[in-house]
Structure 1
C-alpha cells in the first residue's frame, strides 16, 4: 500500500516512480508514535520539523482562557500538520492525537527544498495546503449556516470521503475515536445536542457507531441530508488519472 501522504498528493497529479520513492524515503527516515491525548505540537512552540500523519487520527485545537476548547480540523492519514512551521516563529494552535497516532518528521530544510522546487511535488504540496484551507472554509459554513443535523451529517460524510481517498476505510467503515464532547468542540454544539443528532442518524439507519468505528449505512441519503458538494476537496483533477482517486472514491463524490 502506498504511503497516505503520497496518495493524498496524487489527487493533484501523478508522480513518477522516482518521486514516489523519494517521498517514501522522507517519511521513513524519522517517525514518532503519539498516545491518545498527547500533543503532537503545542501552541507557542517552534519545531524544526514538519509532521505528517501516517496512521491514527489527530485534531487541531485552541484552548480558550476559560479552559474551553475549539477543534478547528480533524487530521487523518496523509495530512500534513504544519507545513508553515519552518516559516513562522511559533505555532498559533495545538495538534493532539485522538488515538494512537504515527507521525513522520520531515525537517524544515527538506520541506523548504520540496516547496521551492519547480516539479510536481512542489505543486502538489501547494495544492494540499489550499485544499486544507478550503476544508476550513467549509467548516465555517457548517458553523454558520447548516443546522445541527446537517452539520453532523456533513462532518461524517466528509470523513468517509477523506478516509476513502487514502484507502484507510473498509468499505463504508472507518476508525472514529471521537467522543460526543469532541464533536461538540468541533461543531459548537453541546454534547447533549450532538447526542440527539447522532441518535437521529442511528434511528434513521444512516450510521452505526460501535467500538470506535463509524459505518455509513446509507451514504447517498447522508450526502443528501448534508447537502454535500465535494468541490471544495478539488478531486476533479484526479478523475483524469487512469488509476487515481476516482477508483477509490467512486460514487461518494
Structure 2
C-alpha cells in the first residue's frame, strides 16, 4: 500500500493546502497503492487510455507531445505533487505523454473511482478543476514566452520557473538544484535548437546569472534572471491542492 496519506511527506510542505479530516479520509480510500518507475520508462502514453491516475510522490519527469518523425514539444517538467493522467481520467485517452527522468515513486488512483469525487467529495472535485485551470494558465504563459521572448529571455524565464518551483518544494540546497535533464529537454520546452540553447546558457554563465553543469543548476542572481525574463517580483506559485 505504501505511505499512509496521513503521513505523506508532501502534506508537510507549505506549498500544498491542508486537507480537512473528511478529505484526508477520502484520499486514504481513493488511493489504491504506489508504484516505482525507472528512468526513461513511460508513465502515460499519448493517444492511449489509462486505468490509473497518479500523484508524484518523489522523482522528476517530463510531459511532452511527439510528432511522427520523433520531434517533440516538452510541455513542462514533472515534479513531486503533480497530478498525472487527468486527460485520460475524464476522456478516453491522453493528449500527451509522461516519462520518468529519474526513478519516480507514484501514488496510484483507479480511474473507475475517479468520478466518485464529483458525487461524494465536491471539495476534492473542485481541487481537480483548480489543478486543470492552473495547468492551462501555465501553458498560456509558456506559449507567450515561446512566441514573444528572445532566446535569452526564454531561457531565463524557464530557469526562473523551474528553480522557484523546486525551491518551494524543498528540492534546492542554497542556490543549487539537482537538475537531471538534458539541454535538449530545455530546448524542446522553449522552441529552440540545441545549439542555440547551449550558446544562450553560456551567455548566462558569462553574465554570472546562472550555470548548468553536470546536472547541477546554480542560480547566481535570481533577481537578475527575473529582470531579464520580464518576470515580476511577486510569487510565481501560490498555495495549491494536493491530490
Checking the alignment, whether the CA contact within 8 Å between 1:135 and 1:233 is kept in structure 2 is no
User: Which of 119, 132, 135 pairs up with 1:129?
Assistant: 132
CA distance in 2, matches of 1:127, 1:218: 32
CA distance in 1, matches of 2:233, 2:8: 24
What displacement does 1:110 show?
Answer: 3.3
User: Which of 10, 16, 38 pairs up with 1:4?
Assistant: 10
Name the structure 2 match of 1:88. 91
CA distance in 1, matches of 2:214, 2:21: 38
206-215 vs 45-54, which moves further: 206-215
User: Which of 95, 100, 105 pairs up with 1:102?
Assistant: 105
The answer for unaligned runs of 5 or more in structure 2 is: 1-6
User: What is the TM-score normalised by the length of structure 1?
Assistant: 0.81
CA distance in 2, matches of 1:172, 1:73: 21
What displacement does 1:24 show?
Answer: 5.9
User: Which of 201, 206, 213 pairs up with 1:210?
Assistant: 213
User: Residue 192 of structure 2 aligns to a residue in which SS?
Assistant: coil
Q: Within 5 Å, which residues of 2 pair with 1:134-145?
A: 134-145=137-148
CA distance in 2, matches of 1:202, 1:173: 14
Name the structure 1 match of 2:181. 178
CA distance in 2, matches of 1:73, 1:174: 17
Name the structure 2 match of 1:149. 152
What displacement does 1:109 show?
Answer: 3.2
What displacement does 1:233 show?
Answer: 5.2
Name the structure 2 match of 1:220. 223
What displacement does 1:5 show?
Answer: 7.2
112-121 vs 98-107, which moves further: 112-121
What displacement does 1:113 show?
Answer: 2.2
Per-residue CA deviation, residues 56-79 of structure 1 (Å, 9 max, x unaligned), is 111111221222122122211111
What displacement does 1:95 show?
Answer: 0.9
Aligned length in residues: 235
Name the structure 1 match of 2:72. 69
Name the structure 1 match of 2:43. 40
Checking the alignment, whether the CA contact within 8 Å between 2:87 and 2:93 is kept in structure 1 is no
CA distance in 1, matches of 2:132, 2:9: 18
Answer yes or no: is 1:187 the counterpart of 2:190. yes
Name the structure 1 match of 2:165. 162
Name the structure 1 match of 2:4. none
What displacement does 1:121 show?
Answer: 2.8
What displacement does 1:173 show?
Answer: 2.4
CA distance in 2, matches of 1:45, 1:8: 35
- Please report the RMSD computed on the Cα atoms of aligned residues, expressed in angstroms: 2.8
What displacement does 1:120 show?
Answer: 3.5
What displacement does 1:112 show?
Answer: 2.1
Answer yes or no: is 1:19 the counterpart of 2:14. no
CA distance in 1, matches of 2:149, 2:143: 10
User: Residue 49 of structure 2 aligns to a residue in which SS?
Assistant: coil
Runs of 4+ in structure 1 off by over 4 angstroms are 5-9, 24-27, 115-119, 230-234
User: What is the TM-score normalised by the length of structure 2?
Assistant: 0.84
Name the structure 2 match of 1:53. 56
